[in-house]
């Protein structure tokens, strides 16, 4: 049995803990707040600021884990680089975690590899953003270089919108870096996440592409599999293999792409861990993304990845203005919709647009019908 230190304890971490425990592992779940979802099922937990390198170092030295598994971006990744040099195993690798903590690092890395990306620049002030957006021209997308689940992301087409986008990005930033990436708006047909699995030995594996739709920079619903052409799939797999090989290590990566109306595949982002859009694999695949991540970094066999059935996920969100304690109604009605399942995450409090659960179903329409039955009530 291995001891695993999980850095980040949200809903994805919760499912990963369950997958790991089924394989006989011990998990210590960490986050900045008590009663986080993964803590509710882990063997132990720690509450501290993971951006505090000293606090993180103390927790690592106290537990002496066999694996350190980040689940979020807001971590003192420079310390993890040092810890890997000292002999600790960082999943999937310290390089992957460090480069992807900030969008500027991974975007620069993708460009250096020659991957097709949107044209982009960086800005560190409102005026800087206005200048960079003018150079790119047209509609642009503004994202904090460090945030989670798309927070702080918006689009802008004029000066007023750019000023509002700067303020919104500042509000959504995590960490201490006041910097945004500004990129050309890609007029895409649809977006996909390609779950990519690197193994200690053996070929890189891929799940069938997952389509998804976002709002406010955060995923709202996803489906698997997409109607992507083989040419699109081949191009996405080639780029995903290139960038994950360059990052190294073993584990699951969520690699996002834009697919244009002409069929061009454009690299968007990468997460070196299970992906929120991949929650649908709990419904569709014989091995979920959490099972695959666990097996890959533990060095366990993955004989095949089978799509058992098509499926979709629809998030359950707190309303704008929601704060504090909450409860649900309508869960029974949601479960009465045929072939649907409800997963409530157990987050301790609500806040505006916070993801509190997900409905899994056979297709987007049915999953959305089930999710529409559920209401989130705050006091």
Residue ranges per structural domain of the chain: 3-90, 119-184, 188-378
Catalytic pick from 183, 276, 289, 291? 276
Residue 273 pLDDT greater than 90, yes or no = yes
Residue 148 pLDDT greater than 70, yes or no = no
Query: What is the model's pLDDT at position 352?
Result: 93
Question: Is residue 196 a contact partner of residue 206, using CB atoms and an 8 Å limit?
Answer: yes
Task: Establish whether 22 is a catalytic residue.
Answer: no
Task: Establish whether 276 is a catalytic residue.
Answer: yes
Task: Establish whether 264 is a catalytic residue.
Answer: no
- Compute the distance between CA of residue 172 and CA of residue 152 in angstroms, rounded to an integer: 4
Is the domain covering 3-90 a CATH 3.30.420.130 domain? no
Q: To which residue do tokens 């999980």 refer? A: 6
Give pLDDT tens digits for 306-340. 999 999 999 999 999 899 999 999 999 999 999 99
Task: Establish whether 103 is a catalytic residue.
Answer: no
Catalytic pick from 269, 354, 366, 370? 269
CATH class of 188-378: alpha beta
The per-residue pLDDT of the chain, averaged, comes to 95
Give pLDDT tens digits for 207-242. 999 999 988 778 999 999 888 999 999 999 999 999
**What is the percentage of the chain residues whose pLDDT exceeds 90?**
89
Confidence of residue 376 (pLDDT cuts 50, 70, 90): very high
Q: Give the range among 98-102, 190-194, 203-207, 272-276 with minimum mean pLDDT.
A: 98-102
Confidence of residue 270 (pLDDT cuts 50, 70, 90): very high
CATH code of the domain made up of 119-184: 3.30.1490.20
Give pLDDT tens digits for 170-201. 887 776 678 999 999 999 999 999 999 999 99
Catalytic pick from 355, 357, 361, 366? 355
Task: Establish whether 114 is a catalytic residue.
Answer: no
Task: Establish whether 148 is a catalytic residue.
Answer: yes
Give, in order, the Cα–Cα distances in Å from 107 to each of 2, 28, 94, 305, 324: 34, 32, 17, 29, 36
Catalytic pick from 73, 98, 256, 291? 256
Q: How many CB atoms lie within 10 A of CB 327?
A: 10
Residues 6+ apart with CB under 8 A from 175: 51, 74, 146
Look at residues 11, 14, 16 and name the one whose alpha carbon lies nearest to residue 297. Answer: 16
Catalytic pick from 150, 172, 251, 278? 150
| Strand partners for 326 | 378
Task: Establish whether 256 is a catalytic residue.
Answer: yes
């Amino acid at each position: 049995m291995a001891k695993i230190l999980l850095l980040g304890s949200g809903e994805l971490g919760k499912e990963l803990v369950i997958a790991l425990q089924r394989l006989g592992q011990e998990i210590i779940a960490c986050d900045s707040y008590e009663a986080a979802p993964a803590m509710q099922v882990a063997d132990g937990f720690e509450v501290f600021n993971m951006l505090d390198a000293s606090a993180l170092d103390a927790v690592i030295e106290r537990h002496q884990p066999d694996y350190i598994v980040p689940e979020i971006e807001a971590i003192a990744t420079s310390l993890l680089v040092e810890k890997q040099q000292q002999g600790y195993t960082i999943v999937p690798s310290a390089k992957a975690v460090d480069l992807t903590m900030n969008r500027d690092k991974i975007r620069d890395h993708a460009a250096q590899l020659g991957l097709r990306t949107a044209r982009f620049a960086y800005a560190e002030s409102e005026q800087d953003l206005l200048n960079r957006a003018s150079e790119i021209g047209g509609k642009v997308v503004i994202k904090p270089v460090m945030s989670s689940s798309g927070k702080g992301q918006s689009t802008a087409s004029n000066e007023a919108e750019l000023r509002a986008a700067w303020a919104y990005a500042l509000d959504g930033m995590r960490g201490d870096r006041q910097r945004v990436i500004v990129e050309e708006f890609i007029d895409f047909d649809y977006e996909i996440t390609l779950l990519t699995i690197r193994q200690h030995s053996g070929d890189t594996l891929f799940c069938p592409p997952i389509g998804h739709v976002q709002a406010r920079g955060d995923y709202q619903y996803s489906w698997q599999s997409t109607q992507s052409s083989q040419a699109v799939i081949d191009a996405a797999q080639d780029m995903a293999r290139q960038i994950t090989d360059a990052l190294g290590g073993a584990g699951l990566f969520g690699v996002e792409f834009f697919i244009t109306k002409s069929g061009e595949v454009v690299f968007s982002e990468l997460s070196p861990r299970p992906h929120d859009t991949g929650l649908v694999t709990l419904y569709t695949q014989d091995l979920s993304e959490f099972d695959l991540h666990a097996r890959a970094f533990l060095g366990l066999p993955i004989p095949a990845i089978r799509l058992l059935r098509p499926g979709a996920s629809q998030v359950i969100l707190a309303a704008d203005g929601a704060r504090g304690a909450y409860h649900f109604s309508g869960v029974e009605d949601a479960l009465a919709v045929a072939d649907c399942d409800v997963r409530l995450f157990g987050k301790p409090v609500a806040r505006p647009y916070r993801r509190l659960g997900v409905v899994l179903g056979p297709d987007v329409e049915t999953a959305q019908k089930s999710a529409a039955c559920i209401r989130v009530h705050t006091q």
